[in-house]
Amino acid sequence: MKKFLTTSLSVLALGAVSTAASAEGSLTAVSWGGAYTKSQVKAYHEPFTAKTGIKINSVDYSGGIAEVKAQVEAGNVSWDIVDVELSDAVRGCDEGIFEKIDASTLPAGADGKPAQEDFLPGTLHECAVANIVWSTIYAYDDTKIGDKKPTTMADFFDTKTWEGKRGLRKGPKPNLEFALIADGVAAADVYEELAKPESIDRAFAKLDTIKASAVWWEAGAQPPQLLADGEVLMTTAYNGRIFNAVAAENKPFVIVWDGQVWDIDLWAIPKGAPNMDKAMEFLKFSTETQQLANQAKYIAYGPARMSSAPLVGKYEDGKIDMGPQMPTAAANLANAVQNDFEWWADNQDALNERFNAWLAQ
Amino acid sequence: MTDVAAPGAPENITTSDGVPLKVSLARATRRQRMQALLLVLPLLLFLLVAFVLPIGEMLFRSIYSPIGPDVLPNFSKVIQEWDGEDLPPESTFEVFVKDMTAARESNEIGKTVGNLATRVNYEIPGSRGLFTKSARKVKNITEGPYKEALIGLDKRWEDQHIWRTLQRISSNYTMSFYLAATDRKYDENNDIVMADPLYQIYLPIMGKTLWLSALITFICLLVAYPVSYLLATLPLRTSNLLMIMVLLPFWTSLLVRTTAWIAMLQTEGIVNNILVFTRVISEESRIQMIYNQTGTIVAMVHILLPFMILPLYSVMKTIPPYYMRAARSLGATGTYSFVKVYFPQTIPGIAAGTLLVFILAIGYYITPALVGGSDGLLISNLIADHIKKTLNWSLGSALGAILLAIVLIFYWIYNKLVGVDNLKFG
């Protein structure tokens, strides 16, 4: 018995030692997978390894802070740096599972402006540093839509003119925003409007009008697939995914920017990360002006630094000009709003329940 | 043993070395029992670590929520004395402000203002910001009157509901998660009420899960019965082939089978294409067969079918064919002899199959998540949501505990009706 215990314990210990050993001289960076992770590998990881010799293991996850929380609470953190959404960064910081990051230690922009002034407003957080601006938009297949093309958010909800299925993210965010914008609220005023309880009813009433036509997606890779399969006529999606389907796979998809809800992704470091210093070094390196601009070469997400914008060039094939593809391009921001993480942090739990109840009806 | 106690034998038989035989025998069997125990010890340890402990932890988590006392240790003691009328006294406000200031500095997991805000937000949706925002400014309140100063930060601190909720969560144990899991909540007066119908989700989904599981079990039984009969009665060569056809999908990955159904049933999928091609339906009226309840039922029946066929088959295999022949030769009709002779002998198989399929179906997760769309979701999907997305592990645990209780109740009813001893898995 004793022998059994000691053997099993030593096996466990061996396992722990070997994971620790493999982490030496390397770094585990966690992100969303697919085209997005690929863009980070090209723009951040490879140059970083070339410069410092530190290898980077790329791990995919599907968002949320559940896994980070579980690791930190168990005191067994294996991730060094994680790409998170703003709402998760804020919540993780509030709950003490991310390290605090002093923004003044970040490198200045290429034009010499200090980091605090160079990053777009609201993209630096107590515990996280933004790398990209992304957006939820809607898109359609140009070959199937007919002669009349949709141009506004209201058109997405117009199933009379454009008869067919609609792909929507399975969750209240950002469907409620879209519904209100389609119902005539200016994008900029959406959260002011949502603060009134009757607006939630209004948004759900608007969603009711397309519920029968709705196909619900969960992962970012699904909407382009739904469009390509002809499962839906239009779908909401993350703009980078649609762009990649167009640029890399020659799909005839068109993005409608009206009513886009944009958000940011940030690097955060879990408390107790095994390679804290290297993670910090990587974070600083990858959010430098040039690296952020380079990432835009591979995916249509906008750099979080203002000094990166002029450096954004063409897509990796050297043909498509990336500037107009960014959520932050002036033309695309005409009727747009930034996701209000505080409003969502307050209301997420209740609205999830209401949304699920509404779905199951 | 009976030999030992044979009549006429002397009372105390001893072995050659003088030890009573009984003792010696007991010693020998004890050693065997110990060896047997040692053999199953890894299994027992595994069960303890992988099964008993996690379930215990889950049950515990559903009622244990120490965030109130952890974040606001002193306040949680003094608020207990408040009678719930008006607002708490000035002294309580002072303790609250000091605890909040200290909590704001805290960086320890489970003891931050963020944890408290999340906890209160479960009880009063929309109150999260009140805590996180006030916490940033609360350190500026260094002297009394604390009550006015706090209300000066945010008018909502005047709300009795907030303080009654804080009083309620100042204990380590709570029933709130079980209330939430059954669509109930505490109102402003601390009375338990049903949630707004628009926000009721768990009871309806729980009901739907039971109903869908029963339906899936029934369909499985209908489909599996004739197949198992063929398997058990056909000549070996044919039945072997049939068996492989049953087992092949069983050995195929669950994900592959579920995705295969997506390819089959989607609106641009194989089934719809064939129907359109053969002009049964028109191009415009393609049928929605997946991403809804139908999709969940079809895919789950397919995936759970082997769990019905295998126990049925193993039971049918043991029924001698001459029973039926005897019934027929005595003048019973085909139907009569089936109902009276064959069917009753298959009941242990039916019992095992239905119990197995029903219990598996109740907890099924991945298939409804992939093909369930909006109305084919089951309770396990909601549990997964709470564990993975909303991070409300306590609510997830409460739902899990309720699900466990339901399964145990069904098992008990089943035991009463069929008798567990009658189950046959083969």
CATH classification at residue B355: 1.10.3720.10
Of A95, A165, A349, the CB nearest to B122: A349
- Residue B29 contacts A where some CB pair is shorter than 8 Å: no
Query: Is residue B182 included in any domain, yes or no?
Result: no
Question: Residues 312-371, chain B: which have Cβ within 8 Å of A?
Answer: none
More confident residue, B388 or A150: A150
* Residue B343 CA from chain centroid, whole number: 32
Q: What is the pLDDT of residues B405-415, one digit of tens each?
A: 999 998 888 88
**Measuring CA to CA, how many Å separate B325 from each of B69, B314, B317, B320, B328?**
75, 20, 16, 10, 5
- Asked whether the predicted pLDDT for residue B83 surpasses 90, the reply is no
Do B377 and A97 make contact, defined as CB atoms within 8 angstroms? no
Q: What is the pLDDT of residues B104-115, one digit of tens each?
A: 888 787 888 888
Q: What is the pLDDT of residues A278-331, one digit of tens each?
A: 999 999 999 999 999 999 889 899 899 988 888 888 888 878 888 888 898 888
Query: Pick from B151, B168, B185: which residue ends a domain?
Result: B168
Q: What is the pLDDT of residues B122-165, one digit of tens each?
A: 999 888 889 988 888 888 888 878 888 999 888 899 999 999 99
Mean pLDDT of chain A: 87
Spell out which residues of chain B touch residue A216, defining contact as CB-CB under 8 Å: 291, 373-374
Closest CA to A175 of A195, A141, A140, A205: A205
pLDDT band of residue B10 (cuts 50, 70, 90) is: low
- Asked whether the predicted pLDDT for residue B281 surpasses 70, the reply is yes
Do B198 and A358 make contact, defined as CB atoms within 8 angstroms? yes
Query: Is residue B74 included in any domain, yes or no?
Result: yes
Spell out which residues of chain B touch residue A96, defining contact as CB-CB under 8 Å: 106-112, 114-115
Of A64, A215, A360, the CB nearest to B201: A360
Range(s) of the domain holding residue B264:
202-422
pLDDT band of residue A67 (cuts 50, 70, 90) is: confident
Residues B270 and B127 in one domain: no
Identify the pLDDT of residue A313. 84
Q: What percentage of residues in chain B have a pLDDT greater than 90?
A: 46
Residue A317 region, left (φ>0) first, then alpha (ψ -120 to 50), else beta?
alpha
Spell out which residues of chain A touch residue B117, defining contact as CB-CB under 8 Å: 94
Residues B213 and B76 in one domain: no
Closest CA to B365 of B387, B394, B350: B387
Q: What is the pLDDT of residues A145-192, one digit of tens each?
A: 989 999 999 999 999 999 999 999 988 989 999 999 999 999 999 999
- Dihedral in degrees, nearest 10, Cα atoms A74, A76, A78, A82: 40
Residue type (1 letter), A257: W
Query: Is residue B403 included in any domain, yes or no?
Result: yes
Do A94 and B114 make contact, defined as CB atoms within 8 angstroms? yes
Residues B269 and B361 in one domain: yes
Please name the residue of chain A whose CA is at the shortest distance from the CA of residue B199. A354
Closest CA to B212 of B90, B65, B376: B376
Do A215 and B389 make contact, defined as CB atoms within 8 angstroms? no
Instruction: Please tell me what DSSP assigns to residue A171.
Output: S
Do A94 and B132 make contact, defined as CB atoms within 8 angstroms? yes
Identify the pLDDT of residue B423. 65
Residues B144 and B267 in one domain: no
Under an 8 Å CB criterion, which residues of A touch B? 1, 4, 64-66, 69, 72-73, 91, 93-97, 100, 165, 170, 211, 214-216, 229-231, 271, 342, 345-350, 352-354, 356-360
Spell out which residues of chain B touch residue A215, defining contact as CB-CB under 8 Å: 291, 373
Residues B217 and B343 in one domain: yes
Residues B120 and B159 in one domain: yes
Please name the residue of chain B whose CA is at the shortest distance from the CA of residue A73. B109
Please name the residue of chain A whose CA is at the shortest distance from the CA of residue B71. A95
Q: What is the pLDDT of residues B215-229, one digit of tens each?
A: 999 999 999 999 999
Residues B43 and B73 in one domain: no
Query: Pick from B142, B168, B194: which residue ends a domain?
Result: B168
Instruction: Please tell me what DSSP assigns to residue B287.
Output: -
Closest CA to A238 of A325, A345, A347, A360: A325
Find where tokens 């649609």 sit: A242
Residues B48 and B105 in one domain: no
Q: Specify the pTM.
A: 0.80
Query: Is residue B188 included in any domain, yes or no?
Result: no
CA gap A243, A110 in Å, rounded = 28
Number of H helices, E strands in chain B: 21, 2
3-state secondary structure of B242: helix
Residues B161 and B241 in one domain: no
CA gap A36, A224 in Å, rounded = 14
Cα radius of gyration (chain A): 22
Token pair, residue A311, equals 């450096």
Q: Which of A12, A94, A200 should one mutate to test binding to chain B, selecting the residue with the greatest count of B CBs within 10 A?
A: A94
Pairing outcome for strands A166-169 and A214-217 = parallel
- Asked whether the predicted pLDDT for residue B397 surpasses 60, the reply is yes
Query: Is residue B319 included in any domain, yes or no?
Result: yes
Residues B410 and B295 in one domain: yes
Do B199 and A354 make contact, defined as CB atoms within 8 angstroms? yes
In order of start, what are the domains of chain A with their CATH numbers?
A: 2-133+264-328 (3.40.190.10), 135-262+333-360 (3.40.190.10)
- Asked whether the predicted pLDDT for residue A258 surpasses 50, the reply is yes
Of B118, B267, B374, the CB nearest to A231: B267
Query: Is residue B173 included in any domain, yes or no?
Result: no
Mean pLDDT of chain B: 88
Q: How many domains does chain B have?
A: 3
Identify the pLDDT of residue B424. 63
Residues B48 and B75 in one domain: no
Identify the pLDDT of residue B7. 52
Residues B104 and B213 in one domain: no
**Measuring CA to CA, how many Å separate A274 from each of A279, A286, B129, B174, B261?**
9, 19, 32, 36, 43
Q: What is the mean pLDDT of residues B246-250?
A: 86
Query: Is residue B365 included in any domain, yes or no?
Result: yes
Query: Is residue B192 included in any domain, yes or no?
Result: no
* Chain A closest-CA separation from residue B127 CA (Å): 6
